[in-house]
Structure formats: C-alpha cells, structure tokens
Chains A and B, each alone.
Chain A
Amino acid sequence: MSIFSPSGAAGAPRAGLAERLVNRLAGRRDRVDPAPAVGSPVAVLDRGGAEPDAELTEISEGDARGSGRSRRGFFGGAALVGAAMAVNPWGYLVRPASAYDAVCGLDAECADGYSVFCCTINGGSNSCPPNSFIGGWWKADSSSFCGGAARYYIDCNAFRGQNAWQCRCNDQGCDRRRVACNQFRYGQCRLDIPASQTGPVVCRMVSCTPPWQQYAGVCTSTSATDNRTATHSAPCNGREPIGSFDTAVDSGGAGGRLGIRITGWALDQDLPEQEIQVAVYLDGAGVAWFPTGVARPDVNAAFGVPGNHGFDIVVPAAAGGHTVTVFAINVGGGAANPVIGSRRVTVTDPNAGLPRGVLDSVSTGPGNTMVLQGWAFDPDAPGEAIQVAVYRNGQGEGWWPTGVPRPDVNAVFGIPGQHGFRITIPVASGDHAVDVFAINVGGGSVNPVIGSGRVRDAGFPLGRLDGLSATAGEVRLSGWAFDPDDPGAAIHVAVYRDGIGIAWFPTGLARPDVNGVFGIPGDHGFDIRVPTSPGRHEFTVFAINVGAPGPNPVVGSGSVQVPG
C-alpha cells in the first residue's frame, strides 16, 4: 500500500508516532507517553523549518537506542555550534579567528576531503580551468564573505574519460584541498551533460551572486545548502579587502554635534597602493562611505605596501547605545565587501540638562514696540517656569519669566508647567536684531541661545496688497494696512497709478485674520475700485503713517491689463 494512501495499515502507526513527536515538540505529554522502544524508528517531517536544532534535541530525550548512549549527550557538541549558527550566524561567522582560518577556513587539508578552490590551481582566476564544466552549486547562508548574504560555491567538474585531470592534493599555500578527486555533482548546471560523462570535481568557484544569474542559461535555480563550508576559502579568492576596526568612541560632541569617532584601517591587496573606502553602518542602516587616507605606517610595514590606509571618521549619532559596523569596499577582484568589524558604543549628550527652547516669532508691536514669542524650559526642572534673557542689538534688555501656557510644548516633551513667553519691548523706529537666551536652573553652565530674529521698520505702518484685478474700465485693489503706533485706528492707503497719485483711501473693512496674527483691534482691510482706461497699468499702494514721524511704506504694487 502506498505511503500516500489516506488510510490503511501503513498510515496508522505513522500518524501515531508523528503525533507523539509533535506533542513532545510542543511540550505536550502523551496520555501514556511511552519512550520509543529500542531500535524503533524516528521519523520527522520538517515543514518549513530547515534546521530545527532544539526540537530534535528534545525528541531525542529518553530515546534508548541500541547503543545505550545518551542522545542528548550525542547532540551536545553539535548543538553548541548549531545553536550559534542558528541563533546568530552572522556573529558566529564574523567573530575573530586565526589568520589561517580567516584565509582558508576550516577543513583546508587534503585529508579533510573537500575540493580545492579554482583560483588556487587556475592562476588565481576564479573560473573553471580548461577541460572542466560547471556542474552545480550550493550556498552557505549569512556569509561574512558576502556582507552577511549567502555565498555561493560553484563546482567545476571534469569530463569523464578525457583523463585531463588526475586526482591529487594541492600542496601550495593553505588551500591544500583535493583536485579532481571527488566524484560528485550538485546537479543544477549543464544539464546537457549526463552523469555518465561527468568526471570528478576539479575545483570550486565562489561568488556572492546567485549562480542562476551569474551563469544564466548554464545553471538553474534549485537551491542546495551546506553551511558547514561557510568558512572555506583561499587567499586568491578575489583577495577581499582586509582591515581592522580599531576603535569606536563617543566623539564627545566635538564640532557641535553628537557622534561616534571610528578609527582603523582597510586595504585591498589587489590594489595595495590605492586608498579604498569603508562603508559605515549604524544600527544596521547605512550611514555613508568614507575614504581611507590616514597614514598608518604600521600597516605599510606589516603588509609591505605603500599608501595611506587608515581611517578616522566621525559619524553623527544620537545619544544612546549604538552598534557600528564597518565594511571595506572591494576595488579589485572578488565579489564581497567584507565586514572588518562591529562594535557597540554609547553616546552621551554633553548638552543634556541644558535649557531648551525656541524663539517662535519676532514682530513689530503697537506703539513702537517689538513682540517676541516662544517657549523655554529646563529639563532639570521641567515643571518650573524659567527665565529668558533678551539682547537687542547686542545689548541686554532684561530677563523675563516664562509662564504662558503652551500645551503643545507640554505634549511634545511630556512635561507639566507653563513654558511659553510673550515679551513686548519698547523700541525706537528702525531695524532691530534680538537674541534670546534660556537661563539654566539645573546642571550645566551654559545659558543657550534659543533663537535670534530681526524686525524692520518697527513703528512704521504695515500692510499688504492682497489682490489686484481688472474689469472693463475699472481696477480693484484689496488688502490691509495698519500702524502699530495706533493699532486700533483705521489708517489710509495712497494709490498711485503709473506713477501718479490717484487718491488716499481709508481702511476700515473687517480683517479678523490681521487682528488675530498681530493681536490688535480695529478694522484694517481695504477694497478699492479705481476707474481706469483700457490697457496695461502699474499700481502702487502706500500705507500712511499716523504715529511717530516716519516714511509711508509701500505695502504692495503690481501690473494689470484693463480690458477695453
């Protein structure tokens, strides 16, 4: 009877055993819970999970196989490595290793049974040597050789019967693996070559590009995985850049911004005289590429190369803990930009505890005044009103308390209190520049500037020509104007057409928007109709000063075509 049969004798015991296993995986107990009998099979269907380490370790508990050996103990060593790979393959793969391991990886001796890399036996070229073909490929996941992505291994098989290759051990360098010995094929490439014409694996290539893309038309996309080969490599495999991530420290706010100072060196031995770049990632997100170029005579001496291969970089970073990862950017052969280090850094804000605030606006006020509005608070006493100091044209004007409700500030910073300010300062007519400082009440020795601003023509009329339009025989002008010296009064505007005065017109129309913005009473709008002959005409509107002596400023001008 078929295994796939929905019922029958073959299906029944399988279901029972599978159910017991599933229950045990899930921590559930069978009602009877018998341990599997000696020699009874273990069968597991892994749906969607490739390598369920912990689950299988759990299955083995209590399984008294013929050998009597504890399977928990049996799995122990593998579980340690396997768990590291499963939980943090990246960290496992990029952790420091000996120089030998770093170059050729594990199992690099002939007796270890693996095939040599092609570049080792093919003049440094990462390609199939003559009299061989691409027979198949596999991948190792989370490879440090590929920046954390999968690394692909592509076998080059000999042609059977040609005797172009003889099985041997490579005896040069650290990649002393087997040449043309292993009669094996992964099976995704050159499907036109049958097994009967397939000779042993001569060597293997490497790439960070999926083989079905790199060798499109030659290789197909059925995946095979062997993470045991993840460290395997050879010195000639593209001569990936090398380097060291020496330090990563809090920059201490140097240059007026928070950041992390990163130092180290990076070198691509394919082009040893060239200064390469390093890519910096902060908490997994790319920040930027930075050039090397800092002198590192120790590196020059160690590798016998010219050039400046050090780097000394400050990258912006907010206060708090960060993980910094540095990649060296490949400039020669090879497919990878390897990680040269990853470090954890905590950035502290030297300005923490200083007052914060913003000068929202600076405007002219009534009666030759200027008005400053904004907010300020000190995180050391977030519920208290602090003071702000105003400097006008470089001279201190005085200190004023905050205390105006600013629920928006409370909401953003999650603090109580009333931290707004609205300050009115008498000023003479003319231009004025102001700087506002928040006065520190807690830690820190600085009263930071929270804003600067400027007003022009304080005390002079303000206004705007909002609309200029024409109909047959008539031009319409609309807008608003007022004089801060008498903000409740309706003033006049003078209208000039083509440079010639037409008349003065009173304001007096309601403009609640103007009242709201400037905090003034009165009706300051105007809407004027001026009979005008057909043709194009230039109009200019002046606001007429009513307070302290001063000019009548232009509030707007424009050109309009009057139809015939």
Chain B
Amino acid sequence: MTRLGHWIGKHLVLALGALVLLYMYIPNFIVALMSFNDASASRNLYSFQSFTWDNWLNPCEPLGMCESLRVSISIGLIATLVATVLGTLAAFALVRHRFEGRSTMNLLVFLPMATPEIVMGSSLLALFVAAGMGGRLGFGTILIAHILFCLSFVVVTVRSRLSGLDSNLEKAAMDLYANEWQTFWRVTFPLVFPGILAAALLSFSLSFDDFIITNLNSGQTVTFPMFVWGAAQRGVPMQVNVIGTVMFLAALAIVIIGEVGASRRRKLLASR
C-alpha cells in the first residue's frame, strides 16, 4: 500500500509538472499552426481557415514587417554586445574585488530589475525630453534603453556563475607558473564563458521582445514588436507567426547545441 502510494506520489507530481509545461506551450502550438493558415479568403484572422505554404514562402510580404525585423535584430545585436561586455566586467569586479561602493553597485544593478517596465520607460522619456531630445527619439534612444535593462541581467547571470567558480583552479594554474594573463584566458575565461553566453542569449531575447519601454522611446522607428502591435489593431498578417516559429526553433537549436557541446566536453574531461 505504501509502495503504491509512493509510486503515485512520484508520478503524480511529474504528471502535474508536465501538464503545466504543456500549458506553457499551447500558444507556441497555435503560433506554429497559424503560420500555415491561409487567411486571404477570410476576414476572420483569429481562426484557422485552410492549409497553405504561402506564408513560409513569402515571409516578407506584409509591408514593413521585414524592415522592422531588421531594426530589431540590429538593436538586439548591438545592445547584447555592449551590455554583455559592460556587465561581464562589472560582474568580475563585484565578485573578485572588495572596493568602496560595492554594495551601492549591487543595489544599482538590482533596482532596474525591480522597476516595472512602464516606470523605467517613462523615466527615460522624461530624461530625453528634459534634455531637449523629445523630437529626436529613435534608434539611438531605443538602444540606450535596451542596453540599460539588459545590463542588470548580464551582471546577475555572470556574477552567479563566477561566484560558483572554484578559485583553487586559478591558484593551481599560478602554481604551475602561468602568469595572470595566461591564467585568465586559459582557465578563468573558459570556465565563465557558459555564463557569459547565457547572459548574451538572455539579453538578445529581452531586447528583441521588448515592447513597453521601446514604445515610449522609439519616435518614428518601428521594431518588430511595435509592428506586431500596430498590426494587431487591424489584423495580424500570418507571416508574423512564421517569424515567431523561426525564432523559437532557432533559440531551441542554439540551446541544444550548446548543451550537447557542454556534455561532450564534460565526458572528454572525465575520460582523461
């Protein structure tokens, strides 16, 4: 009886967990399904009409969509690069050095994450307007905002990876006559790299997906989420679902390749 109870207990929680996971995927299934929807025949854009490959063959058909995608990808890449470099440097300082103002810096990193997007977006807008830039909102102001909110997430991600690092590995390298520079590039950096990569991936997804902050500071520039928002008032073109599906599959592929690579490295190290 207790064994049966144990069996149920074990698998019940797992089954409930799987159900929650399934719930999280319902929208992704719908998005993938709708990417094959032929909406040309009907005005009802919120139900599946008939199957077609057209959306996948002509992804750039809706006016302005691929242009907005290009803008989002450019902003995402630049913001990720800047935020990852600045954030990684700061994370090293916060973990490895004891300096005056360290706890202030930790607080400064935490605050943007505890601020609702609408407040952060409106404060930036207030600054830009006060600085006389109210008429010059666009690519530059979006970029500033995106680097800002990515920065905190990079610091937090890299910091947690670094503080979990065994400093004996670095001491061992120094004992074997590696200088500081060699120790950093041959030992520390490779060990922290997965954390930096995760931070970069997170930054890009945050930047690519942001709407609330961008919408307040964008001027006439249209990013992909803003295109979707504008289109939602009239009826979203089905190609939006193609982009959503491609982004999802690409991210999944990057994570799986990274994970396979990491486990292969672990096996290689273990077999030595």
Please determine whether chains A and B interact with each other in the same assembly.
no
> Which of B's residues lie within 8 Å of A, judged by CB?
none
